[in-house]
Amino acid sequence: MKRELTPIEKAIRAVGGNKSELARLVGCVPSNITNIVARGGRIPCMSKEKRDRWINATGLSKKDLFPDIY
């Protein structure tokens, strides 16, 4: 049985599998992406502006990226 991808894994895949590119697109450093992966894959719920940046960068839905709040 396949496990479901975490939100950060979905985001990384959505930008072609490149953590550095994802970091650039959402306005953080690559180590932030690595830390999110290491801490279980939940993207921290931040301001609406930052959530929108993640949504626009990946093309994923709010529910895919932030399932805890949507």
Span 40-70, pLDDT tens digits: 999 998 899 999 999 999 999 999 999 988 8
pLDDT at 56: 97
Half-sphere exposure of residue 30: CA atoms within 13 angstroms, side-chain side: 5
Asked whether residue 1 carries a pLDDT value surpassing 80, the answer given is no
How far apart CA 32 and CA 1 sit, in angstroms, is: 30
- Single pTM value for the model: 0.92
